Amino acid sequence: MITQSALLEKVPRGLFIGGEWVAGSAGTFPVVDPATGETLVEIADASPEDGIRALDAAVAAQEEWAATAPRRRSDILRRAFDLLMERADEIALLMTLEMGKPLAEARGEITYGGEFLRWFSEEAVRISGRFGSNPEGTGRMIVSQRPVGPCFFITPWNFPLAMATRKIAPALAAGCTVVIKPAELTPLTTLAFVGLLVEAGLPAGVVNVVTTTHSGALSAPIIADPRLRKLSFTGSTPVGKKLIAQAAEGVLRVSMELGGNAPFVVFDDADLDKAVDGAMLAKFRNIGQACTAANRFIVHTSVADEFARRVTERVNAMRVGRGTEEGVQIGPLIDRKAVEGSAALVTDAVARGARLLTGGSAIDGPGTFFEPTVITDVAGGSDILREEIFGPVLAIATFGDEEEAVRLANDTEYGLVSYVFTEDLARGMRMIDRLETGMMGLNAGVVSNAAAPFGGVKQSGVGREGGLEGIHEFLSTKYTLIPA
């Protein structure tokens, strides 16, 4: 396997604009390993002017890319998938270094993120329309699909490969050009991935990358530019609301995958082995730093103590450490602010009467580590039931009957994903209808799949990524009438 130093030497450190790696006008900034607090590399810091230059390149490439044969667009995506699989170990290590997740999970993200390239390489050649007579018989109707045009993507730090591929792949398949701004904390994986796209034959200007420490200042003029036609953002709801307001000025198409507060409901008839396995996946995947992470464990009173005992036993056995170390299951949180946020939520819950079963504290030493934690008997009104935790903290509240479970699960402004464990099929079907979320895992702790539409309702966002629905976010419908 490649060494850390050799890998970092290979990673591009510039902005990628118009097919060239260039310096940033605002200098450079450090990318830090959260497990050690040490700087990995310094990379280009883009100014707002650099952002507009990237949009210029995307606009210049748009017409030719839209006219490119779907099969060629498909082949480029497929070659990028193949290259990603060949370099899986390298990209996984890079992701672990900059984000902190264990290598095993980073490899899992390579598989997941790569599937968007493969899926949309197949969808690129299946964009279709329809043709037929109008009801009056006075003409022929042609309904066709056209790419929406240049897109601006803002991606988060927690899944640095999958969030890039989930947005870029359908855009390219549809014939759209792209400017992408990866998160300041984890930009290296996106830079390496774009290098693979170039190697796969992507023409200059079709994808452009701007890394920056001035996110708002860089993004605002791009969003305000009348040449931009689509904005896609994954991140917090407060930031998403501001971006939607900015996008409204230009009546931009928007896709927003925003905050979550996922309920994990365990009924009295649940298979507890399945429920505990699902809980470990839904809570501790990515160190709890996922919008799909189970946030509120709502467990029937008759099984709550046994469920808490079993998950605590599993949590106590988890190994904490740098993600590059063998057997580590819990890596560092992304930064000091994340550690402080998890600690504050636990402190508030315990002050309101919750019982701390294990963990609950930051870990001394280098890096930003927090103990995997279980708390139970969480009282209504606790901050931890209202705010997205984004850390390895499993919080249990209880319910008495189905109506109360539904009320508690829906008692949030968010609606991204829910998890339900029950052996009663009829009850499971009722939960599909009654829980106010865009996705649901029924006896499953992980729902994400490139072939499925990912997205939420309420304040968890608008639009869908992945699945048959994903490519339509980048297509506009055109109707033509031909008189008979």
- Catalytic residue numbers, as ranges: 257, 291
Number of H helices, E strands in the chain: 15, 22
DSSP lists the bridge partners of residue 5 as: none
Dihedrals phi, psi of 277, to nearest 5 degrees: -60, -45
What whole-number distance in Å separates Cα of residue 291 and Cα of residue 357? 24
C-alpha closest to that of 259 among 453, 464, 457, 467:
457
- Rounded-to-integer distance, Cα 129 and Cα 253, Å: 20
Q: Could you give the CA distance from residue 121 to residue 43 in angstroms, rounded to a whole number? A: 31
Beta bridge partners of 262: 294
Burial 178-191 (b: 16+ CB within 10 A, else e): bbbbbbbbbbbbbb
CA distance 435 to 446: 17
Q: What is the largest CA-CA distance in the chain?
A: 78
Q: Where are the alpha helices (DSSP H) in 232-300?
A: 237-249, 272-284
Q: Tell me the C-alpha to C-alpha distance, in Å, between residue 238 and each of 72, 258, 378, 426, 460.
A: 39, 9, 26, 37, 10
